Amino acid sequence: MNDEGLRLEGLKADRDRYVSLAFCWADLLFELDRQFAVLFAAGATSAFFGRSGDALVGTSFRDLVAPADVPMLGQIMRQIAKTGRSQDNVIRMIGPQGNLIWVSLAAYCLDPVQGHFFVGLRRSRPSEKADRLSRPEPGREGLYDSGSFAELAADRLKKIQSAGEQAHVTLLSIPTYKDLADRLTSRDSATLASSVSDFLKANSVGGDSAAKVGDGQFSILHAATTRIETVVGQIEALTRRVDPTGKGAAVESATLTMDAADISEADLSRGLLYALTKFREADGSGLSIADLAANMSSLVEEAVTEVSRFRSVVSQASFYVALQPIIQIHTGDIHHYEALCRFNAKPGESPFKTITFAEETGLIHDFDLAMARKVIEWLGHYPRNNDKVRVAVNVSGFSIGRPAYIDSLMWLLKDNAWTRGKLMFEITESARMSDLQSANNFIQALRSRGYHVCLDDFGAGAASFQYLSVLDVDVVKLDGSAVKNAQRAPKGRAFLSALTELCRRMHVETIAEMVDTEDTLLFCRECGCSYVQGFLFGKPSPDIADFSPLPQGGLFRRGGTRSSL
């Protein structure tokens, strides 16, 4: 090639670089070959890396990226090779002092087969990353909860492995965390929580792929090259630093290796959530984290299989409604029935295990909606002008946090407006409601449409009073164990009476559950409860005729005043 040809080639290269710089709005511009070696670097290279652009030529771009984010870089470059461009990626680079610098990365490739990569970098911040993630933001300590982490990790694992990179999920546990916490001041506890959070995020893919699973229990998505023993040692050092005795606490770890190639992202997410739930529940059960990890892959596979089976049950509505009456405590009148689920494949068996699985794998909102449809179908067998039969359908606290569930339910009610006055809603697993104001908005949306709302499990914990102060409901159901404990405790009668009086003053009626004996019925009546529910009046049945006449109906006096619930 003559001098003119060389000049034109140079101009073409300069043009390409200029176009890429303009496109990428960057502080820095790199040209990389197909192996990610730096061919050209321009911009604020000294400020970012402490080296000139010429000094960076020949360096592997991977070596400039934070080790934890290398798998993500591989996934990004794989995307560029397929589509020609990528933008709005937030990763971390290694600064001149070994510090990590958050950057936004945009890149393109003119020739997906043989062309070079043009990469632009601009200073960013972690919050920009959170803004671009369509996921809940990390919790108070800067770490995701189990559900959000499972979604994030599944998404990244699929993309990273499809790009030929490797990343793993590791579980970390501090078995003696409670003992350590007892030795710390509130300030030291906050310092430890913040330090562990920052350290885990710094070593995670993308700088945010870490979760708090439980007290002293964590999970992290990290590059396969990460030395977990170093991570464990650093966390142990953090515990010694804040412990006034200098003893600190030992940290156990277990790494999960899984091939995500043949699993859908949704199933992988639910499998991970199921595994994380088992990890949390293993605390104090005598099951070591090593034992748990040894079976973790099979747990994920088991979850995927069960998810598929449960989806089939929901889609085919392979379950039926069993009814249990809620009875006015003085008159014995049946005010309404609670709709309980029974599965066709397991007639007579408690659905507790299956429902718990649905909650653990994030499927409960699908089931709650299917159950609402089933109850509406059941109510449809009665004349629409018949208001004598009313049924309460359960809504899990998990579901209330799902916009898709709320939208679908509201459309279902709009299409079946005739259910007003016949259908009620009972919120279960209220402890799972992380945003009480949003939960109250959902409750008021139901009430404004003419549907009464009951709050289940009231009195089972101190948080119940917070719920009652924030959530405006029509009735609360007193937890059965709380009723039994009150019946046994010396001051139990005073406690339960005060509870029902508080509710009465707030114009909220009360249902006492697990009323299985005449003594419990009399106790609840003396304590001022409005309604009762329990095996004393028959076990749940799909046949409403089993409650006419009401079993043990002779225990009530007739002619009392009907409640306005």
pLDDT digit string, tens, across residues 215-235: 899 999 998 888 999 999 999
User: What pLDDT score does 286 carry?
Assistant: 54
User: What pLDDT score does 290 carry?
Assistant: 67
| Residue carrying structure tokens 């794998």 | 361
User: What pLDDT score does 563 carry?
Assistant: 42
User: What pLDDT score does 388 carry?
Assistant: 82
User: What pLDDT score does 560 carry?
Assistant: 40
More confident residue, 349 or 35: 35
What's the predicted TM-score (pTM) here? 0.64
DSSP letter at 288 equals -
* pLDDT tens-digit readout, 176-210: 998 999 999 988 998 898 899 988 988 998 888 89
303 near 295, Cβ under 8 Å? no
Element (H, E) at 30: strand 28-32
CA dist 277 and 309 (Å) reads: 19
Percent of the chain with pLDDT over 90: 36
**What CATH number does the domain located at 317-555 have?**
3.20.20.450
pLDDT at 131 over 60: no
pLDDT at 22 over 60: no
User: What pLDDT score does 432 carry?
Assistant: 66
CA dist 286 and 241 (Å) reads: 28
Whether 142-307 shares its CATH topology with 317-555 is answered: no
Helix or strand or coil: residue 403?
helix
Closest CA to 48 of 65, 70, 67, 68: 65
Average pLDDT, the chain: 83
CA dist 280 and 173 (Å) reads: 9
User: What pLDDT score does 279 carry?
Assistant: 80
The architecture (CATH level 2) of 3-130 comes to 2-Layer Sandwich (3.30)
Q: What angle do helix axes 228-242 and 186-202 make, rounded to 10 degrees?
A: 160
User: What pLDDT score does 81 carry?
Assistant: 74
CA dist 548 and 327 (Å) reads: 13
**What CATH number does the domain located at 142-307 have?**
3.30.70.270
Distance of CA 439 to the CA centre of its chain: 15
Report the sign of the C-alpha dihedral through residues 304, 350, 334, 500, in that order: negative
pLDDT at 237 over 50: yes
DSSP letter at 432 equals G
Element (H, E) at 391: strand 391-396
| Residues sharing a CB contact under 8 Å with residue 491, sequence separation 6 or more, in sequence order | none
Domain ranges of the chain: 3-130, 142-307, 317-555
Among 16-20, 335-339, 357-361, 432-436, the range of highest mean pLDDT: 335-339
pLDDT band for 130, please (50, 70, 90 cuts).
Answer: very low
* pLDDT tens-digit readout, 537-559: 999 999 999 999 999 988 886 54
pLDDT at 535 over 50: yes
Helix or strand or coil: residue 212?
strand
More confident residue, 98 or 340: 340
Element (H, E) at 338: strand 334-343
User: What pLDDT score does 97 carry?
Assistant: 86
User: How far are the Cα atoms of 63, 194, 218, 241, 278 from residue 238, in angstroms, in the given order?
Assistant: 28, 10, 15, 5, 26
Closest CA to 67 of 162, 202, 196: 202
Average pLDDT over residues 127-155: 66
CA dist 5 and 160 (Å) reads: 42
CA dist 268 and 262 (Å) reads: 10
Task: Provide the strand spans (E) within 403-471.
Answer: 423-428, 453-458
CA dist 499 and 505 (Å) reads: 10
